[in-house]
Structure 1
Amino acid sequence: MNLRTLAPLGLTVAIAASLAACGKTETAPAASADAAKPAFDPSLIKTPLISLNSADLDTAISACTDLNGFVNSKWLKANPVPGDQTTWGSFEILRERSLEVQHALVQQAAASEAKAGSVEAKIGDIWKTGSDEAKIDAAGLAPLQPQLDKIAALADTAAITQYLRDSQAQGQGVLFSLFANADYKDSANVIAYVGQGGLGLPEKGYYFDASQAKIRDAYVAYIAQVLTLSGVDAAQAADQAKAVLAFETRLANASLSRIEMRDPSKRYNPVSAADADKLTPNFSWTALFDTLKVPAAQKFSLAQPQFFTEVDKMLADVPAATWQAYLRFHTIDDAAPYLSSNVEKANFDFYGKTLRGQQEMQPRWKRVLDSVNNGMGEALGQLYVDAVFPAESKEQMQHLVENLSEALKARLEKLEWMGEDTRKKALEKWASFTPKIGYPDKWRDWSGLQTNGDSFLGNMQAARAYNYRYMLDKIGKPVDKTEWGMTPQTVNAYYNATKNEIVFPAAILQAPFFDAKADPALNYGGIGAVIGHEMMHGYDDSGSQFAANGNFDNWWTDADRSAFTQRTDQLVAQFDGYEAVPGVNVKGKLTLGENIGDLGGLTVAYDALQMALKEEPSKNVPVDGYTQDQRFFMNWATVWRRNFTDGELRVRLNTDPHAPANFRANGAPSNMPSFAAAFECKAGQPMVRADDKRVVIW
């Protein structure tokens, strides 16, 4: 699956930010009103913001029956998913606005007489080579041919393993992931992590479930199409495609599911290279780390050992011709966004149209902008912050974070089901939270990246290798706590357990999440709930296994962990009961962490709103006929205003740790007496869960 396959947008929990890079840094700009900023014309932002608007409310639907329907149904009916998207709502609209800013910035960089080797010049190189569609089409697969020739020459296990090592060193590993991250047991230092991979379909279930048979057939046809485009005879390509599917099915059978991978213990298995070599006699980890030039021989994490045992067997018993077909297909598929239009279209037709229901490709400028972000995202983020991020947003966010933090502390101090020993540790973790807002304090240095005005694929491969080398160079060194795992222009937020940090990029600090001029209810029901959500990831079923110092360590008594699990099991049952499409329900275990984050985050955000309104009683007034409490929950629902294509929704139900947006809008409030009180809901109404079903955790 190529780099442009979009990860689900939403609020994420990041135990390991596996794609972040480190190296030399520069001091971040002050981003103040007095700072010199590049000229940016706000009129270039064409997409209007979403905000809570009384005209959008469907008063025929009671909030006590369906909060999401009351707030969002009219808007959703009037705003179907555009043909070049698979989802459309609050997140996507903010992403569109971010892309419009970025578009202007890369055009400015490409048109400027930037100094050779500067950040602007390198961004300009990627932009210009990616925009020259005629030149890319004329080149065909020629830019990739040297790599394809190497694959064609693979004749035995020794040659295949050498190729796997060499391609991994360029950041082009197909078969498994290898990345740098904080040691789960020693979070101040970085080690290498190796994990399962190698699949072209979204999740292992796609290879076995009867309901995915048509997707498997379409995938085989796509593999054959790609191989044919690369010059393989059509009949041979059809046979090779079946062999590739069988190859991946073996990998899938040995892989853990998305639900199983939520357990940190399934992602951490420290071994020495010598011991790992014994596990996989046909693949030397010692040789791999020598090729990568990283100090990992004494300790690295080889999680999912059963997967690598199977890979080792496949190195011995799968014919070289099948390995060639597998590697040839994935090499072309991975590079598809940077190749000729016939290859790119084939890739879109399967991954976009067939799998996710997207009806048309996004325009060229958006596709190339994705590539700029893949290659030099933080560099573009520096330009983005200079152009559009106001200092007052960061200042107000810091105040909101402080208020949410105090509300969370009060909850922890009064929690009835938690014993004092565990509570003490929970409060230690609370005291060590690190918030990051807007943009990094230090920026990466890009002087080592070499780009040119000739080859789009060449530029992207150079950027990938450069970023991968940056990442590998962290292994064996102390963790850089100034580093970010998201770019400022990303509409998202995350929690990192090994750093115990919550991070809010600049692009999400807009309506409906945040508006400096809005009444308190909107900001607390929007970004306040997001802040609370990310804090609560430190105490969800996965994050709660990490201590205040970021180490993977049990700080719970057995009794308290049992009490916690009883409550989270209720939340699993609640979301298991939501039918997303006919016959397909939400997976409560897959989405548990995010649902804990939503419930706890909305709860502490509501508490923080009450604190704020006591401080400033003059702001505790109705707006448009709705109280501050009502508007708090209404804006929470506005955040989750979102349509999906049927295909996208089905993929997410199998792969996304976030529940579909409509269930997030309703799920947490239905457990909160404060919601029922705000709208005067009665027992037995759909948005009021019965006492024996109501979930109370934090």
Structure 2
Amino acid sequence: MAASGLATIVGVFVTVAIVIGSLIVNIIILSKVNNVKSTVSKINDNMVTPDLPTCPPMPTDAPLLPTGNPKYQEAASYLMQGLNETFDPCEDFYSFTCGSYFVLHQNDLGNVSRVGTYDEGQTKINQWIYQQLEKTTNSSSTITQQITWKAAQTCNKYYSGNPIDKSADMYKEMKDLFGGIPFVDGDSWKAISDMTKFFGAVGKLELEHALGTLFSTLVTVDYVNTDKNGIFVGQPILALPREFYVKPQFLSQVLNRVTDVMQTLTTFYKSIKGKAVDLSQIASDIVNFEISIAIASWPDDQMRNYKQQYNLYNYAKLSSAFKSISLTSYVDALVAGNGQTDAQKQVNSLIITQPSFFSWLDSVFEGGLIKQETIVNYIAYQFIANNQDFQPADGKTERALRYHERRGRGLRNIGATREVRKSTDLRDICVGIITDLMPYGPGYFYTKNRADREPARADVKIQTGYVIESFREMVGTLTWMTKDSQAKAYEKADKLIQNYGYPEMLFGSFKGDDDARVDKYNEDYKGILNTDDFYEIMKILSKGMEVREFFKILNNDYTKDYWPTSRHNFLASPATVNAWYQPERNSITFPLAVLSEPYYDLTFPQAFNYGGQGGTGGHELTHGYDDEGVQFGPTGQLIANDDFHSGWMDANSTQGFIDMAQCVVSQFNTQCCPVKTGNVHCANGETTQGENIADLGGQQAAFRAYRKYVERNLKGVEEDRLPYPMNKYTPNQIFWISYGYSWCMLQRPDNLVRQILTNPHAPAQCRTNQVMQDIPQFASDFNCRQGQKMYPSDEDRCKVWVGQ
């Protein structure tokens, strides 16, 4: 009896503590959202905050006390950080789910360009990795762990102190490659007449620093011959959005670009003590060359047709195709990183993605249309800017604490971009740099030390199975798709490769032999253990990534070490808070890091998990059926039917798909206006259509999957509600709120404008409200009246991969 009585007393105290804790958290959070509409309008001019009526009370039959499950309280606390009930969810669902988030994080912007839930999730993972590395790394740790920790602590130490001037090292490298730098050497610099030497130097610079200058190159599966890898060579990635260079309304941004370039050149020039030259004119010449590149480059909306970008060239005949630019020398220098002296034997496929750009560049060199010294100055500037952390601070330029972000889905487009997600936490910054350049260093350590990795993988595998089943059912409702095309859509879903958590073929079961295999895989980074110079470490990381992740997989005999063409290739680190679909592999990948709060937790309500991670799964699955994905078949091969379209759908079904996609394009072009001032107001419906289709199709599939879970796993009994005050919301409503919360993001205007011009994703506000408008189940769950913004008439709704 005594023990029983004690247990009862303890239980009462625990319940009371949970209630009190819940109320305290709620009071703290709710106290910050008073007068939130006016505050949001002041702190974030990007947000549309119309004067809307208060949300009508939701019907509820739930108890007013917390459930007693602390993880449910945690889930509720996450959603309450964003929830602002002064907005009507039927009018502006994004502000309803994220209005308080903007207030809570208004001071977090500081000198960074954005704050969002994905950024927060990645920061938490990176901080945890750093802390655990610091606690556990010793001489008996795996070589991979020792390399990762050495790079992380050296990075932290470097950024904690004063910048070390490596300008002399940079100049020496440019002198070895290009005979010097024209804006430093003046008249003593001599042009290079041997184009094999010139373009070999361009390739070597890219190999050593993961820095594309005149080209953007990667190695991945040959789209047509998927049993081998190919080298894809394309146009370079520019510092500014292409529109800035080619449209007159952006003149001020181009002039600012000239100022920025001149400032970078001046800092370097003073350090090197170069000969007297007019740096203002040199900066103008560099930016004018960028303008020429932009004009010759394909715009984003022309780079969604992969048949047009698949141009297979014979390696031996490259010199006859482009006589004045030595692409063979460029490729030879890249492949030499794998220790190969005969590149032709390694290059099974060489694909030129934008031939007209290469023809233009060929004519530039053949006719001397642009002085070679300007081109070398441009290359040197790119190199210097990429390493500006290793130059003296001049009091004007912020030190570039940044990630090397990868563009595109997976690794199809890669490069160190000039727009970067910044952070103020050095642990976050340093682990982020290493994760991007040595993906299976931090990734292996994180995965090996996460206790719930196997149950989380198993749960999400079930979840994704329901999502795929639901999507197949949606396809069955389409009236515009023929039976033959439907059968091919089902085949593509059936043959989808699903990667969960981590790459089993590399990581195994995390035992001794697996440690040794991962150490061997990361051997190209081993030199990090022999230096305390962070500049040298960055060079090792950059070259290691180029060699290990790209050029080694050209050799099809390399299967014993890992995966040249495997469709199970993860393509990025398991420690990455993201997910992706890879069309040339027909694969979806969910790194272990994305299976974490605030999108997923094994112990959260499944309504929360399906709204977050389930929506992510549906999104990536639907990429296989967006305007790019439909061009690739069930095993990833590019299907070219005729001169007018690619893909596995017949002509009638293709027209129906085009009509569906055009509805999404038109809707986003006409309704999405998140920016109030300046020249850019709205996302481009054409360039964002793939992501928008994925959002719409994916979230509908996820909702249907959640209802399957309730019917099958819970026998039709609804989940327990979240604790007070979130208990007013049904599980279905929590599903939608979880989706909205996942896109909460606070951005500076310049960051948002750059996203609109360069990013295939529409702004978060549009991704939330536009999706809700087109899904009638949302309107039903929130008792919306037809005619409200989130419940338009049926003819004004885009039906994406669903017939009704």
- The verdict on a shared fold, with TM-score over 0.5 as the criterion, is yes
2:127 paired with 1:127: no
Aligned partner (choices 661, 668, 673) of residue 579 of structure 1: 673
3-state SS in 1 of match to 2:755: helix
Aligned partner (choices 69, 80, 83) of residue 110 of structure 2: 83
1:9 corresponds to: none
Aligned partner (choices 473, 497, 502) of residue 588 of structure 2: 502
Matches of 2:267 and 2:621 in 1, distance apart?
49
> For the Cα contact (< 8 Å) 1:389–1:506, is it kept in 2?
no
> For the Cα contact (< 8 Å) 2:165–2:390, is it kept in 1?
no
Correspondence list, 1:611-690, <5 A: 611-615=708-712, 616=714, 617-620=716-719, 622-623=721-722, 624-690=727-793
2:223 corresponds to: 184
3-state SS in 2 of match to 1:436: strand
2:352 paired with 1:302: yes
- Counterparts in 2 of 1:256 and 1:389: CA distance versus 1, 3 Å: farther
> For the Cα contact (< 8 Å) 1:58–1:73, is it kept in 2?
yes
Correspondence list, 1:286-435, <5 A: 286-291=328-333, 292=335, 293=340, 294=343, 295=345, 299-316=349-366, 317=368, 318-342=370-394, 345=397, 348=400, 362-390=424-452, 391-435=454-498
2:227 paired with 1:225: no
2:544 corresponds to: 466
2:44 corresponds to: none
The structural deviation recorded for 1:434 is 1.4
Which deviates more, 254-263 or 409-418? 409-418
Matches of 2:441 and 2:662 in 1, distance apart?
43
The structural deviation recorded for 1:144 is 1.9
The structural deviation recorded for 1:142 is 2.9
1:262 corresponds to: 304
Gap regions ≥5 residues in structure 1: 1-47
The structural deviation recorded for 1:106 is 4.1
Counterpart code for 1:167: L
The structural deviation recorded for 1:90 is 1.4
Alignment length (residue pairs): 645
Which deviates more, 475-484 or 386-395? 475-484
> For the Cα contact (< 8 Å) 1:154–1:160, is it kept in 2?
no
Correspondence list, 1:463-542, <5 A: 463-470=541-548, 471-475=550-554, 477=556, 478-542=564-628
Q: Deviations over 1:465-492 (max 9, x none)?
A: 2221221121253503332122111111
Counterpart code for 1:465: K
2:533 paired with 1:455: yes
Q: Deviations over 1:542-588 (max 9, x none)?
A: 00110101111121111101011111111111111211202511111
Matches of 2:419 and 2:332 in 1, distance apart?
40
Counterpart code for 2:689: L
Counterpart code for 1:90: T
> For the Cα contact (< 8 Å) 1:260–1:266, is it kept in 2?
no
Q: Deviations over 1:56-80 (max 9, x none)?
A: 5333321111111222212222322
3-state SS in 2 of match to 1:181: strand
Correspondence list, 1:200-219, <5 A: 200-201=239-240, 203-219=241-257
3-state SS in 1 of match to 2:115: strand
Correspondence list, 1:60-139, <5 A: 60-80=86-106, 81-108=108-135, 112-113=138-139, 118-130=143-155, 131-133=157-159, 137-139=163-165
1:603 corresponds to: 700
The structural deviation recorded for 1:306 is 1.1
1:446 corresponds to: 522
Matches of 2:276 and 2:134 in 1, distance apart?
41
The structural deviation recorded for 1:498 is 1.3
Matches of 1:343 and 1:537 in 2, distance apart?
45
1:545 corresponds to: 631
> For the Cα contact (< 8 Å) 2:166–2:390, is it kept in 1?
no
> Identity of paired residues, percent?
22
Matches of 1:427 and 1:357 in 2, distance apart?
39
- Counterparts in 2 of 1:187 and 1:446: CA distance versus 1, 3 Å: same
The structural deviation recorded for 1:605 is 0.9
Q: Deviations over 1:278-334 (max 9, x none)?
A: 232112233334442433666310111111112222224122321231121111112
Matches of 2:655 and 2:278 in 1, distance apart?
57
The structural deviation recorded for 1:683 is 1.5
> For the Cα contact (< 8 Å) 1:333–1:347, is it kept in 2?
no
Higher relative contact order (CA 8 A, sep 6+): 1
Matches of 1:154 and 1:98 in 2, distance apart?
50
Matches of 2:96 and 2:307 in 1, distance apart?
42
Matches of 1:136 and 1:60 in 2, distance apart?
48
The structural deviation recorded for 1:673 is 1.5
Gap regions ≥5 residues in structure 2: 1-73, 181-188, 405-417, 508-517, 557-563, 640-646
Matches of 1:389 and 1:238 in 2, distance apart?
57
3-state SS in 1 of match to 2:480: coil
Matches of 1:545 and 1:594 in 2, distance apart?
15
Q: Deviations over 1:115-173 (max 9, x none)?
A: 7x922332233234332358873444133232132331552242433322332443444
Matches of 2:591 and 2:785 in 1, distance apart?
39
The structural deviation recorded for 1:197 is 0.1
Larger radius of gyration: 2
2:200 paired with 1:162: yes
- Counterparts in 2 of 1:498 and 1:512: CA distance versus 1, 3 Å: same
Matches of 2:124 and 2:159 in 1, distance apart?
25
CA RMSD of aligned residues (A): 2.7
- Counterparts in 2 of 1:56 and 1:145: CA distance versus 1, 3 Å: closer
- Counterparts in 2 of 1:625 and 1:133: CA distance versus 1, 3 Å: closer
The structural deviation recorded for 1:174 is 1.6
Counterpart code for 1:540: D
Matches of 2:399 and 2:748 in 1, distance apart?
18
Counterpart code for 2:430: V
Q: Deviations over 1:603-639 (max 9, x none)?
A: 1111111211212122345540222222211111111
Which deviates more, 416-425 or 328-337? 328-337
- Counterparts in 2 of 1:680 and 1:63: CA distance versus 1, 3 Å: same
Matches of 2:394 and 2:606 in 1, distance apart?
52
Matches of 2:301 and 2:75 in 1, distance apart?
35
> For the Cα contact (< 8 Å) 1:143–1:457, is it kept in 2?
no
The structural deviation recorded for 1:674 is 0.8
Taking structure 1 as the reference length, the TM-score comes to 0.86
Which deviates more, 138-147 or 289-298? 289-298
The structural deviation recorded for 1:500 is 0.9
> For the Cα contact (< 8 Å) 2:130–2:152, is it kept in 1?
no
3-state SS in 2 of match to 1:180: strand
